[in-house]
Amino acid sequence: MTVFLCTACGTSYDAPRPPEHCPICEDERQFVPASGQSWITRNALGDAHRNAWRRHEPGLLSLQTVPAFAINQRAFLLRTPTGNVLWDCIALLDPATEELVRGLGGLSAIAISHPHYYTTMQDWAAAFEAPVHLHASDRDWVMRPTPSVRFWEGETLDVLPAVTLIRAGGHFPGGTVLHWAGTADGAGALLAGDIVQVTPGARRVSFMWSYPNMMPLPAAEVRRVAERLAPWSYDRIYGAFTGQEVARDGPAIVARSAARYAEILEDHRAGHTNGPAE
């Protein structure tokens, strides 16, 4: 058996030859490229790529594969007094990354926002002997079974002190964000994946059923996502892609963005007003 990675989404499969299908890409929340599905072995990925690191604030690093691979999301390494958490996952776990993470104390837990970022979580979990916390609502999207997955149910899960997973829903029924109360300044941060999508100006966020196919969520579900996040206190929001960082006032931005989104969906006239926005 060889580990093959889908080059469109980064999902890994154990197979004797390249698979015919990638169910993650065939779902309408992802896409099969016009040129067809293609594959790379886990070893070949490491030959052509490396991971680049960035420090965002004390205790928070991100890592992202260069040149870009598949969806090109970043993962975060969250360092806390009681252990490190890998938030979201990327396909490339090369020897350099493994040695660096080990040097920082390894991983106590892995948590992933939704199936588009499951990638090679099985390999990360095995390398660091860490559990992978996934919301049970998305359990059918695990393409390589691993004993390391812990499916959690309900609305929140305390992973470590000051590190809580919140089921926000939206893009996937089990769509999860990570709340970190233990930032150095005490203000807190939200690691949002693309469950809460930070938009280019970093003063708004958005919520979609399918990002590549540009299919929105129902207004009622957007309101539910905002309601699930409303009780939480935080300042910064870190999204799945480079540059997606809300610097302050995260809760107000989420509340305002969700309200406006629902307003447009519920009343088409709201999208046809003239003049500058307030």
The residue ranges that bind Zn ion (CB under 5 A) are 6, 8-9, 11, 22, 24-25, 116, 194
Give the nearer residue to Zn ion in terms of CB position, either 49 or 182.
49
Smallest distance, Zn ion to C-beta of residue 192, A: 11
Smallest distance, Zn ion to C-beta of residue 113, A: 8
Smallest distance, Zn ion to C-beta of residue 82, A: 29
AA letter at 243: G
Give the nearer residue to Zn ion in terms of CB position, either 25 or 101.
25
Question: Could you identify the residue written with the tokens 């993962």?
Answer: 75
Helix (H) or strand (E) holding 236: strand 236-239
Give the nearer residue to Zn ion in terms of CB position, either 23 or 83.
23
Give the nearer residue to Zn ion in terms of CB position, either 8 or 85.
8
Smallest distance, Zn ion to C-beta of residue 103, A: 31
> Under a CB-based contact definition with an 8 Å cutoff, are residues 174 and 167 in contact?
yes
The alpha carbon of residue 212 and the mean position of all alpha carbons in its chain are separated, in whole angstroms, by: 15
Smallest distance, Zn ion to C-beta of residue 6, A: 3
Give the nearer residue to Zn ion in terms of CB position, either 22 or 75.
22
Tokens representing 55? 């420090």
Tokens representing 124? 């990360």
Residues 6 or more apart whose Cβ sits within 8 Å of residue 34: none
* DSSP assigned state of 113: S
HSE-CB for 268 with a 13 A CA cutoff: 0
